[in-house]
């Protein structure tokens, strides 16, 4: 894909890195609220809104203004954010949390493959790239834009210093006072290829597009 080699499969106990293990019945889009158990929506992953552990996530629902974790499934038809690959993608929305404003994040603990040089993933993002958080074992990693496709970008992070180590891998949409931060994730892969940006590739400041930016914030009360 665009010169990248995704040649190291997840090992150890990392699982469901493409979010295709959801065990859910079809549901129409934007039928708010539509909470489902996180164990059924994103098996293997733990979710947080701010510092609060979540036992449920939304299914085919976005909540503009409120922090949200959602699984987007087969009946979802919106272009941005859309299902990036396969039948499911995971959406993180920073925003209002009880008592203030905060991030939306998912994480799981596992062992980085011994020959991994990078983590590469597909993501659609709205907001400042600096608000797209990736960390391993508590250390922040810097996403690098590798290339772009029609409805997503390919990002990479250097994971070589942690090869063979066990720790918690976390992805987050962090709150930004300038506006919404949404991160839609799919196809997280360990690779033996080092992170090398495409020639002339520039870090995107806003990747959601003008149409998405025109949507007004409105708050929905979380259940």
CATH number assigned to the domain comprising residue 121: 2.60.120
In the three-class reduction of DSSP (H, G, I as helix; E, B as strand; rest coil), residue 129 is classed as: helix
Identify the sign of the CA torsion 129, 124, 32, 56. negative
Q: Is 177 left (phi over 0), alpha (psi -120 to 50) or beta?
A: alpha
Asked whether the predicted pLDDT for residue 55 surpasses 80, the reply is: yes
Instruction: Give me the domain span that covers residue 51.
Output: 35-213
The answer as to whether 57 is a domain residue is yes
Asked whether the predicted pLDDT for residue 152 surpasses 80, the reply is: yes
The answer as to whether 15 is a domain residue is no
Tell me, what's the pLDDT at 135? 97
Tell me, what's the pLDDT at 180? 79
The answer as to whether 192 is a domain residue is yes
Q: Which pLDDT tens digit goes with each residue over 104-113?
A: 999 999 999 9
Read off the pLDDT band of 42 (50, 70, 90). very high
The C-alpha atoms of residue 147 and residue 54 are separated, in whole angstroms, by 33
Comparison of pLDDT for 99 and 57, the residue scoring more: 57
The answer as to whether 145 is a domain residue is yes
The answer as to whether 9 is a domain residue is no
The answer as to whether 146 is a domain residue is yes
For residues 153-178, give the mean pLDDT: 94
For residues 145-170, give the mean pLDDT: 95
The answer as to whether 115 is a domain residue is yes
Question: Would the pTM count as exceeding 0.85?
Answer: no
DSSP 10-45: --TT---TTSTT-------TT-S--EEEHHHHSTT-
Q: Which pLDDT tens digit goes with each residue over 29-40?
A: 888 889 999 999
Instruction: Respond yes or no on whether the N-terminal peptide bond of residue 121 is cis (omega within 30° of 0).
Output: no
Strand partners, 97: 100
Give the burial class of 27: count Cβ atoms within 10 A of its Cβ; 0-12 exposed, 13-18 middle, 19 or more buried.
Answer: middle
Split into its structural domains, the chain has a count of 1
Read off the pLDDT band of 211 (50, 70, 90). very low
Asked whether the predicted pLDDT for residue 194 surpasses 60, the reply is: yes
> How long is the chain?
223
The answer as to whether 114 is a domain residue is yes
Tell me, what's the pLDDT at 18? 97
Tell me, what's the pLDDT at 197? 63
Read off the pLDDT band of 77 (50, 70, 90). confident
Asked whether the predicted pLDDT for residue 161 surpasses 50, the reply is: yes
Asked whether the predicted pLDDT for residue 209 surpasses 60, the reply is: no
For residues 160-173, give the mean pLDDT: 97
Tell me, what's the pLDDT at 214? 39
């Amino acid at each position: 894909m665009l010169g990248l080699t995704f040649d190291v499969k997840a090992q150890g106990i990392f699982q469901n890195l493409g979010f295709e293990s959801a065990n859910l019945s079809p549901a129409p889009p934007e039928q708010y609220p539509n909470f489902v158990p996180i164990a059924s929506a994103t098996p293997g992953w733990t979710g947080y809104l701010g510092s609060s552990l979540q036992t449920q996530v939304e299914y085919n629902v976005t909540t503009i203004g409120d922090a949200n974790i959602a699984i987007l499934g087969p009946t979802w038809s919106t272009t941005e954010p859309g299902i990036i690959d396969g039948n499911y993608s995971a959406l993180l929305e920073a925003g209002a949390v009880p008592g203030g404003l905060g991030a939306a994040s998912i994480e799981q603990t596992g062992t980085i493959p011994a020959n991994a040089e990078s983590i590469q993933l597909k993501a659609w993002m709205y907001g400042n790239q600096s608000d797209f958080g990736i960390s391993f074992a508590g250390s922040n990693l810097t996403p690098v834009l590798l290339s772009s496709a029609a409805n997503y970008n390919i990002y990479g992070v250097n994971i070589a210093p942690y090869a063979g180590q066990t720790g918690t891998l976390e992805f987050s949409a962090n709150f930004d006072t300038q506006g919404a931060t949404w991160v839609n994730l799919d196809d997280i892969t360990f690779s033996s290829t080092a992170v090398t940006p495409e020639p002339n590739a520039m870090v995107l400041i806003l990747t959601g597009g003008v149409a998405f930016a025109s949507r007004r914030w409105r708050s929905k009360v979380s259940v």
